[in-house]
Amino acid sequence: MPATRGLVILTGLTTAAPAWSAESASVASVVQTPLIVAVLGLLAMVSSSMALLLWRSLGRARWQASRIQRRLAQYENMAGNLPIGLHEVVDDEDVGPKFIYVNDRALELMGVSRLEAEEDLYAAFSNVHPDDHEQVLQNHESARKQNTPLTIEARFIVEGRQRWLRIESWPREVNGQFTWPGCTTDVTDRREAELQFRVLFEQSPLAIMLHDADTGEVLDANRQAWSGWGYDSIESFQAAKPHALMGPEYGEEQALEGLRLAARGGSDRFEWSSRHADGHVLWHHVTLTAILLSGRTCVLGVCLDITERRAAEHRLRESEAWFRRILQDVDGVSVQGYDADGQVRYWNRASEELYGYSAEEAIGENLVELIVPPEMREEVRQNLQRMLEGEDIENGELELMRKDGSRVPVYSSHTVLRRAEGEPELFCVDIDLSERKAHEDALDRMANYDALTGLPNRRLMGVLLEQMMVRARRAQSSFALCYLDLDDFKPINDAMGHEVGDSVLVEVGKRLHRLVRGSDLVARLGGDEFVLAMDSIGDGPELEKRLRFILDGISRPIELDGRHFQVSGSIGVTLFPQDDTDPDTLLRHADQAMYRAKAMGRNQFSLFDTEIEARVSEQRERLRKIEAGLEQGQFRLHFQPKVRLASGRVEGFEGLVRWHHPESGVLAPARFLPALDRTGLESRFGDYIIEQALQQLQHWLQGGLDLSLSVNISGPHLLSEGFVDRLQDLLSRYPDVLPERLEFEIVESAAVTHLERAVAVLLAVGDLGLQISLDDFGTGYSSLSHLRSLPVDEVKIDQSFVRDMLTDLNDYNIVRSVIGLAEAFGLRVVAEGVETPEHADALRKLGCEIVQGYAFARPMPEEEVSGWLSKHHEESS
């Protein structure tokens, strides 16, 4: 028989009653039973005394009989009005059980009429709930047959309403015959309360069990309990031996001891392991509470399943152990565990390698004192404290200390491991950065230093130079920036090979380093170019002395593998802040000065002149404007006629350039030609003028004017690369123009600097058919030999002689000799700057036939030429 039944019997409740309903049930029976017994006792007494009286003196005391009848009626009335049903049943041998007494309340509760009930006792059970019917009849039959007390609790449906009735009867033997007096009570309220309680019990997410404290027997358990342990019913759960539920850590005895302990102490709480029906281990948080049920010591166990939580904790512990194992051997990641006081508790192999302490040496020591350099210890201790207080400490790079005292760069991060129990554990994870630092250093070297000499390269030099400028400005001091270029390096490189060349450069780098002061900068720009920046130095004798010292130092012979080499250097210097500009320009200025030093001869230095530079930049600006003007066609030729004195005939025109400047008006050549001198633009400009002349000649031809035109050609233009080719090309574009109509005026001085070349070009130009005139003759180097060697057709007497020939005998004589010379060489002679008829007259007398000057016309724009020509013809005819 299941244990529950045992308990129910023990507490005197019906089969289905839960364990803790026992007490309330007992209370109900205690309240009702004496009343019923008293009433039934009374009834028994009354009926027996009545029988006795009737038997003994039937006729004797009639008045007494009526008195008793009154009494009986009174009792019956009393019993009939009680709130409980009363009855007495007799078991008649012939007709079976039947009521010998039943009060109205009993009939009302069972929902039958007196007639029906008295006719057939079983009619009283006709309203029993169909589910309970069988049980009720069985109980009734067995009690009747065995003469045992009867207790039934069953549902009755009366007038459509269900109520729980409790029917109790006790056998009573009177003269060998058994009767069953009993009572019926309405227990609906209690049953419903019990039902609600049961539902709560059954539906609780907690496993709830009631144990016998002595035997451990499970008296009751809710679904959560039996299903949670893997059983399909409470019976199978109860049937499992208690020890079968015990976990790996407890034996049966221990479990029982636990129950008894709780029973004695009133309650207990603990975590308990047990086995599931399938054998796996379950963990519960258990609260045991002792309860006394009808004198029996029971223990109520409420169990919360914590298997998952324990498993998670276990997994965590396992993974922690696993990580510790991994960390133990991981390469390059040093892990140190320590407690709140800094005492080392864990020290992996990488820590041993990084810091040089074995685990045995490190564990137990103070981490801060072990690996933190003295100057950082206070800060680290404070950080440690902050970490323990829950603050986050930033990870970062720092230098820690090895056993041998050397420093090692690491990336260090920190963690605090807090557990439910125990002190927090701190962990430090350090990654060795030495290799990365070395790599970074190497990259930095590659980016900032010259691979050959190890000196700062151009990039770093720029940065350092900028810093020096900032420092000098702040300290109001100065420095000298020197650009050094080796003089004779290329031949060494070419003749001896690059390896030797490299060695020479390395040696020069080393020397420079030794020749300057510590605060000075030495850098290599590349090739054989170096930069020195010498701090706090003026432009006085000190600078000169230092520069000489450096030049001397460089030019000392260099010995390489028994061979001797010698190089010298040229140094260009600029001074900051006198030359107050940006680092790039500063370097360019020093470079320019270096070129001057080179031009001065080897092993020299030269200072950059800021005033010259200012002029240069002005000149640059001028050129820019000229170029723009050229592109916009602002340069045009004006024309001045050359007139034959005898006939007044116009021999041709000289084209003289004018700048039709949009703002400044018409500018004479003196305003802009000097800026073009020896520039890249000079030839372009000259070619443009030649083309203008050709265009003009063509234009005149088209207008029926067969004129000659001379243009002035500068020396550098004439000698420029490809001059003849370009000329040829230009001529070919104007095929109608006879080359003889075009004349070049060249100044003697320009031609004589490169006489041979000039002669060759002029011959080629002459071969193309052009006329050549030697302009400004008499000035500069004019010499007879030039006149002889240069292939010219015409000589122009310089206007300076013409101007004063009438007043200055010297000039008059010069003019006369030039005319004579020209005649001697068979050359045309033209006098320029003829301002008056007197001049013209004098010239004519001396034999000069062609003249040019204000006396005839000033240079005029193209549009005035034909008008002037017509007017001139009129006047001279």
Cα separation, 802 vs 853, whole angstroms: 10
Residues 6+ apart with CB under 8 A from 170: 149, 150, 180, 181, 182
Cα separation, 632 vs 556, whole angstroms: 57
Structure tokens at 295: 């004198």
Q: What are the two backbone dihedrals, phi and then psi, of residue 288, each rounded to the nearest 5 degrees?
A: -105, 135
Residues 6+ apart with CB under 8 A from 237: 218, 221, 225, 226, 229, 231
Closest approach of Cβ 497 to ligand C2E, in Å? 49
Closest approach of Cβ 719 to Mg ion, in Å? 18
Contact 301, 287 (CB under 8 A): yes
Cα separation, 233 vs 227, whole angstroms: 7
Nearest to 303 by CA among 393, 207, 165: 207
169 counts as binding Mg ion under rule CB under 5 A: no
Stretch that binds ligand C2E, among 40-48, 531-539, 577-585, 669-677 (CB under 6 A): 669-677
Cα separation, 835 vs 838, whole angstroms: 8
Closest approach of Cβ 467 to ligand C2E, in Å? 50
Contact 229, 237 (CB under 8 A): yes
Q: Which is nearer to ligand C2E, 583 or 716 (CB)?
A: 716
Q: Which is nearer to ligand C2E, 72 or 855 (CB)?
A: 855
Q: Could you say which of ligand C2E, Mg ion, none residue 854 binds, taking C-beta under 5 to 8 angstroms by partner kind?
A: ligand C2E
- Using alpha carbons only, give the angle 70, 75, 79 rounded to the nearest 5 degrees: 145
From the list 412, 603, 604, 712, which residue makes contact with ligand C2E (rule: CB under 6 A)? 712
Q: Could you say which of ligand C2E, Mg ion, none residue 274 binds, taking C-beta under 5 to 8 angstroms by partner kind?
A: none
Stretch that binds ligand C2E, among 158-166, 604-612, 712-720, 762-770 (CB under 6 A): 712-720
Give the burial class of 185: count Cβ atoms within 10 A of its Cβ; 0-12 exposed, 13-18 middle, 19 or more buried.
buried
Cα separation, 656 vs 47, whole angstroms: 172
Stretch that binds ligand C2E, among 425-433, 560-568, 707-715, 866-874 (CB under 6 A): 707-715
776 counts as binding Mg ion under rule CB under 5 A: yes
Total residues binding ligand C2E (CB under 6 A): 24
Cα separation, 215 vs 615, whole angstroms: 119
4 counts as binding Mg ion under rule CB under 5 A: no
From the list 656, 707, 774, 840, which residue makes contact with ligand C2E (rule: CB under 6 A)? 656
Q: Which is nearer to Mg ion, 351 or 712 (CB)?
A: 712
711 counts as binding ligand C2E under rule CB under 6 A: yes
Structure tokens at 147: 């003469």
Closest approach of Cβ 643 to ligand C2E, in Å? 11
From the list 410, 571, 689, 737, which residue makes contact with ligand C2E (rule: CB under 6 A)? 689
From the list 226, 290, 853, 865, which residue makes contact with ligand C2E (rule: CB under 6 A)? 853
Total residues binding Mg ion (CB under 5 A): 4
775 counts as binding Mg ion under rule CB under 5 A: yes
Stretch that binds ligand C2E, among 276-284, 571-579, 766-774, 852-860 (CB under 6 A): 852-860
651 counts as binding ligand C2E under rule CB under 6 A: no
**The tokens 């800094």 sit on which residue?**
342
Q: Could you say which of ligand C2E, Mg ion, none residue 711 binds, taking C-beta under 5 to 8 angstroms by partner kind?
A: ligand C2E
Structure tokens at 257: 């001891």
From the list 657, 709, 770, 822, which residue makes contact with ligand C2E (rule: CB under 6 A)? 657
- Using alpha carbons only, give the angle 191, 197, 199 rounded to the nearest 5 degrees: 105
Site map 717..756 versus ligand C2E, x via CB under 6 A: ----------------------------x-----------
Q: Which is nearer to ligand C2E, 720 or 852 (CB)?
A: 852
Closest approach of Cβ 773 to ligand C2E, in Å? 9
794 counts as binding Mg ion under rule CB under 5 A: no
Indicate the helix (H) or strand (E) that contains 183. Answer: strand 177-186
From the list 42, 668, 755, 784, which residue makes contact with ligand C2E (rule: CB under 6 A)? 668
Stretch that binds Mg ion, among 276-284, 665-673, 705-713, 857-865 (CB under 5 A): 705-713
Torsion-angle region of residue 652: left (phi > 0), alpha (psi -120 to 50) or beta?
left
Contact 71, 46 (CB under 8 A): yes
Q: Tell me the Cα Rg of the chain.
A: 67
Closest approach of Cβ 804 to ligand C2E, in Å? 12
487 in helix, strand or coil?
Answer: coil
Q: Could you say which of Mg ion, ligand C2E, none residue 36 binds, taking C-beta under 5 to 8 angstroms by partner kind?
A: none
Q: Which is nearer to Mg ion, 610 or 817 (CB)?
A: 817
Closest approach of Cβ 854 to ligand C2E, in Å? 3
697 counts as binding ligand C2E under rule CB under 6 A: no
Contact 231, 242 (CB under 8 A): no
Rounded (10°) angle between helices 723-733 and 755-767: 20
For the segment 779-838, give every residue that binds ligand C2E (CB under 6 A).
Answer: 799, 832-835
Residues 6+ apart with CB under 8 A from 121: 89, 96, 97, 98, 99
Q: Could you say which of ligand C2E, Mg ion, none residue 532 binds, taking C-beta under 5 to 8 angstroms by partner kind?
A: none
Residues 6+ apart with CB under 8 A from 684: 630
Q: Which is nearer to Mg ion, 212 or 775 (CB)?
A: 775
Closest approach of Cβ 740 to Mg ion, in Å? 18
Nearest to 795 by CA among 814, 808, 778: 778
From the list 482, 782, 859, 865, which residue makes contact with ligand C2E (rule: CB under 6 A)? 859
Cα separation, 640 vs 620, whole angstroms: 31
Q: Which is nearer to ligand C2E, 357 or 777 (CB)?
A: 777
Stretch that binds ligand C2E, among 62-70, 159-167, 667-675, 863-871 (CB under 6 A): 667-675
Contact 491, 602 (CB under 8 A): no
Indicate the helix (H) or strand (E) that contains 534. Answer: strand 529-535
CB 557: neighbour CB atoms within 10 A?
Answer: 9
640 counts as binding ligand C2E under rule CB under 6 A: yes
From the list 485, 528, 591, 745, which residue makes contact with Mg ion (rule: CB under 5 A)? 745
Q: Which is nearer to Mg ion, 220 or 775 (CB)?
A: 775
Closest approach of Cβ 634 to ligand C2E, in Å? 14
Structure tokens at 548: 């000489």
Closest approach of Cβ 682 to ligand C2E, in Å? 8
Closest approach of Cβ 536 to Mg ion, in Å? 55
Q: Which is nearer to Mg ion, 775 or 794 (CB)?
A: 775
Contact 154, 129 (CB under 8 A): yes
712 counts as binding Mg ion under rule CB under 5 A: yes
**The tokens 């035997």 sit on which residue?**
215
Cα separation, 531 vs 513, whole angstroms: 11
Stretch that binds ligand C2E, among 42-50, 642-650, 708-716, 731-739 (CB under 6 A): 708-716
Structure tokens at 845: 């007398």
Cα separation, 338 vs 343, whole angstroms: 5
Q: Could you say which of Mg ion, ligand C2E, none residue 716 binds, taking C-beta under 5 to 8 angstroms by partner kind?
A: none
Torsion over CA of 698, 703, 706 and 708, rounded to 10 degrees?
-50
Closest approach of Cβ 613 to Mg ion, in Å? 33
Stretch that binds Mg ion, among 40-48, 500-508, 673-681, 706-714 (CB under 5 A): 706-714
Structure tokens at 461: 């030099």
Q: Which residues bind Mg ion (CB under 5 A)?
A: 712, 745, 775-776
Chain residues that interact with ligand C2E, rule: CB under 6 A: 640, 656-657, 668-670, 673, 689, 711-714, 745, 775-776, 799, 832-835, 852-854, 859
